[in-house]
Amino acid sequence: MNTIKKDLIYTTSLTEIHSEPVIVIDSDYKVTDINSKFLNIIKKKREDIIGTYCYNYFKDSERVKKNCAKLFEIGFFHDEELELVGHNEKDLLYNGFVYKNEKTKNSELVIIGRKIALEKKYDTKFQSFLESLPDAIIIVNHDGNIQSVNTQVEKLFGYNRNEIIGNPIALLMPSRFKESHHNHIQNYFANPKVRKMGEGMQLFAKHKDQTEFPVEISLSTIDSEEGLIVCASIRDVSQQKKIEKELKEAITKAENAVKSKQQFLTNMSHEIRTPMNSIIGFTKVILRTELTPKQKEYISAIKMSGDTLIVLINDILDLAKVDAGKMVFKKAPFKLALSISTILHLFETKIQEKNIELVVKYDQNIPEVLIGDAIRLHQIILNLVSNAVKFTFKGKITFGVRKLTEDDENISLEFSVCDTGIGIEADKIDQIFENFQQAHSQTSRIFGGTGLGLAIVKQLVEGQGGSVHVESELGKGSTFSFVLPFKKTYRTSIVVDDDIIEFIDNPTKNIKVLIVEDVELNQLLMKTILDDFGFEYDIAENGKIAIENLKKDNYDVVLMDLQMPVMNGFDATNFIRNTLKSSVPIIALSADVTSINVEKCLAAGMNDYISKPIDDNALYRKILTLIKKPKQRIEIESIENYEPKTQKCTDMGYLNKITKSNPKLMTEMINVYLDQTPILINFIKKSWLENDFDTLKSAVHKLIPSFTIVGIDKKYEEIARKIGDESTMAECKNWILELENICLQAIEELKMELNNLNN
């Protein structure tokens, strides 16, 4: 098979070399050169042909025009069956290609006739096709020998094709493969399943200089007259592999950086929280003792500073938890209006101190009960309202909730916090949701804070499929809004909290606790707290000693630290559950709140978990919950189900006096009591269950004036004034239950009075 390279410079003498007809034309399809064979066929002289249109000398002139156009478009055509005028040979094929005439500097077309046997027509067309492909193509016969290649193979491997053709495929492949290439080829022909796997194989090839390089090979079979042959398409993936390697290394570095960050935060959490546990714990203990006003002021300042530091730690750890993808969002029913009221009550004192106004706009079309993460919603609202209060010195703060969209199962709500505060500079708005960023350079020094609040808000909102927005004008105020989706439910009565902490009527005595703690200062703190509870206790310095104690003595509950020498809390719990077969309640204690969570502790066999610094009230309730069965289930809807006592608890004397027995005024005041009291009772119970003592005191304070108005005995007012005092926290649970009962009875009696007034 004749091969004519495109870079040859064709002259008149060169066209005469060919024994078959050759014609050269310009871009207008006019003849610029012609050989003798061509002239003999059409029986014309050279001077009569030069400058005339080439298609006049072919029987199918339209087909010639199309092929010439194809030449200028793609640079070649192959084996076209064209017939010259006056010529009847059917086995003459024409090939065309473009070349640049060095004399004229113009591109010209060369059309060459080629007389070949019919059985070679396929090979010529196929070889031309191979040359047009961008990948290196190798044709291998049934014996595994290379039958044909294209120019890309020469470029890729560095061989001349004459050095390749006839050699086994192993010439271009390294010897590292266990299976010989010949056997692989045989297997490929014989096994259809292997053929299906022949696409995108990652192998190694070998240059002429014996250096290896990665390639991607795709195999396919072709049915030729000689039988099945294999066509291997080879692509050099060295650059791709390099990029993949660099990307993998970058990912590994990033993962290691995240792990290092998480480990650092874990260590920081443990190291800071451990001493803070003692600092805050002992300040609480001291505050319960007799102090002078000045001493109490100083100790309270220490406690406040400790609480502030814990908030800082929690902000950093919350953000780390979100970054690590470990933030879990609960899906539980809750009452939105009640949740919002509870949150906003926290800011009541501060708002009054700053003499600003809080306006609440609540869309009444929102269902009473929704399904979502109430705790995370509280966290978002707390951050936004806290910022609004912090940066507003006059005017008002408007908190709004409105329904955006709703269907049978879902509802989307928009929450907004609008203030008349200092505002944010336009060029700082895009930065305020980034970690450790604040709108003003002196914000942290003047107002405090970590610059993490808004970053956490953004992560919490977007993590639940929502979005957050901000609009602000410097000196006029800001509006932060966020949109969150919730599930709908048809429930109208829900338990205050998923993990119900029940009130227990009987006094808790004769409770024995095993403290498993290795730090002496923490041991002293736990002893002090349990002394205050009136509980007995023993101390074990590690898990191994704790197991020995459990073998020889009985305990009502075990307080288990997690990081200890000799035997840690997890190993000790595993031994207690699986070897001792003991079901003694175990409460985990740890300062490491990033890597240790409730689920992990429960999976280890522990019953509950409390983080350091220890909240003594929460610890007290957790202990009582684990060692005694609940006797009363507190639900928000319990008011409707209450049956009053027979002895009357209200007296209308004071109400008659201040209203001068005006039925309209009396009716109005009784209605206000009936509306407000159930809400306040629910706030009191909920804030007690959540250790929210600021809201607890605020709600009780609002309840007290109503006792005088409706004539409830003075002793209940005295009980109410004691609730929330840290020195009487152990008795609060019974007092709250007593207040609820008397208020529920008063409600029923006042409903009867209201009926009498209406009649």
Q: What is the pLDDT of residues 238-290, one digit of tens each?
A: 888 888 888 888 887 877 776 676 666 666 665 676 677 677 778 877 877 88
* pLDDT for residue 280: 76
Looking at residue 126, its pLDDT comes to 65
Say what the pLDDT of residue 446 is: 40
Burial of 251 (0-12, 13-18, 19+ CB in 10 A): exposed
**What Cα–Cα distance (Å) separates residue 616 from each residue in 281, 307, 322, 471?**
8, 14, 28, 42
DSSP helix/strand/coil, 356? coil
> In the chain, pLDDT over 90 holds for what percent of residues?
12
User: Which of 185-194, 338-347, 448-457 is predicted least confidently?
Assistant: 185-194
User: Lowest-confidence range among 73-77, 308-312, 744-748?
Assistant: 308-312
pLDDT at 31 over 80: yes
Nearest alpha-carbon partner for 700 in 718, 714, 681, 713: 681
Mean pLDDT of the chain, nearest integer? 76
Which among 521-535, 551-565, 713-727 has the top mean pLDDT? 551-565
Q: How far is CA 754 from the centre of its chain?
A: 55
pLDDT at 88 over 70: no
Per-residue pLDDT averaged across 736-755, rounded? 85
User: Mean per-residue pLDDT for 124-132?
Assistant: 69
Q: What is the per-residue pLDDT for 227?
A: 63
Q: Is the pLDDT of residue 577 over 50?
A: yes
**pTM listed for this prediction:** 0.37
The average pLDDT across 124-136 equals: 73
Sequence-separated (6 or more) residues with CB below 8 Å from residue 100: 106, 107, 108
Rounded to the nearest 5 degrees, what angle is found at the Cα of 334, between the Cα atoms of 331 and 339? 125
- pLDDT of res. 759: 65
Instruction: Tell me the mean pLDDT in the region 299-306.
Output: 71
| Alpha carbon distance 660, 101 (integer Å) | 121
pLDDT at 244: 82
Average pLDDT of span 317-321:
60
Question: Given this model, what pLDDT does residue 537 score?
Answer: 93
Of 21 and 514, the one with more pLDDT: 514
DSSP structure class, residue 21: -
Q: Phi, psi at residue 289, to the nearest 5°?
A: -90, 175
Indicate whether 120 pLDDT > 80.
Answer: no
Residue 201 phi, psi dihedral angles, 5° rounding: -70, 135
Which residue did the predictor score with more confidence, 260 or 429?
429
- What was the pLDDT predicted at 121? 47
Q: Quickly state the pLDDT bin for 440 (edges 50, 70, 90).
A: very low
pLDDT digits (tens, 9 = 90+) for 587-610: 998 765 544 456 678 778 898 888
For every residue of 494-550, which 3-state class applies, written as one string? Answer: CECCCCCCCCCCCCCCCCEEEEECCCHHHHHHHHHHHHHHCCEEEEECCHHHHHHHH
3-state SS class at 650:
coil
- Give 537-542 contacts, CB < 8 A, sequence gap 24+: 537/512, 537/513, 538/512, 538/513, 538/514, 539/514, 539/515, 540/514, 540/515, 540/516, 541/517, 542/516, 542/518, 542/566, 542/567, 542/572
pLDDT tier at 89 (50, 70, 90 boundaries)? Answer: low
Three-state DSSP state, 77: strand
Please say if the pLDDT value at position 200 is more than 70: no
Question: Would you state the pLDDT for residue 11?
Answer: 41
User: Is it the case that residue 618 has pLDDT exceeding 80?
Assistant: no
Tokens of 589: 């204690």
Q: How far is CA 296 from the centre of its chain?
A: 46
pLDDT on residue 691: 72
What pLDDT is recorded for position 195? Answer: 46
- How is residue 384 written in tokens? 């936004």
Burial class (CB in 10 A: 0-12, 13-18, 19+), 302: middle
Distance CA 47, CA 51 (A): 9
Q: What is the pLDDT of residues 485-503, one digit of tens each?
A: 999 886 554 544 333 333 3
Reference 701, options 665, 667, 725, 733; nearest CA is: 725
Q: Which residue has the higher pLDDT, 17 or 473?
A: 473
Would you state the pLDDT for residue 7?
Answer: 38
Q: Is the peptide bond before 613 cis (omega within 30 degrees of 0)?
A: yes
* pLDDT, tens only, 133-177: 788 888 887 777 888 888 888 888 988 888 888 888 888 876 544
Percentage of the residues of the chain whose pLDDT score is greater than 70:
73
pLDDT higher than 90, residue 514: yes
pLDDT at 191 over 60: no
- With bands split at pLDDT 50, 70 and 90, how would you rate the model's confidence at 544? very high
* pLDDT band at residue 532 under the 50/70/90 scheme: confident
Average pLDDT over residues 732-750: 85
From CA 584, how far away is CA 577, in angstroms rounded? 9
Does residue 264 or residue 58 have the better pLDDT?
A: 58
C-alpha to C-alpha distance for 206 and 215, rounded to whole angstroms? 10
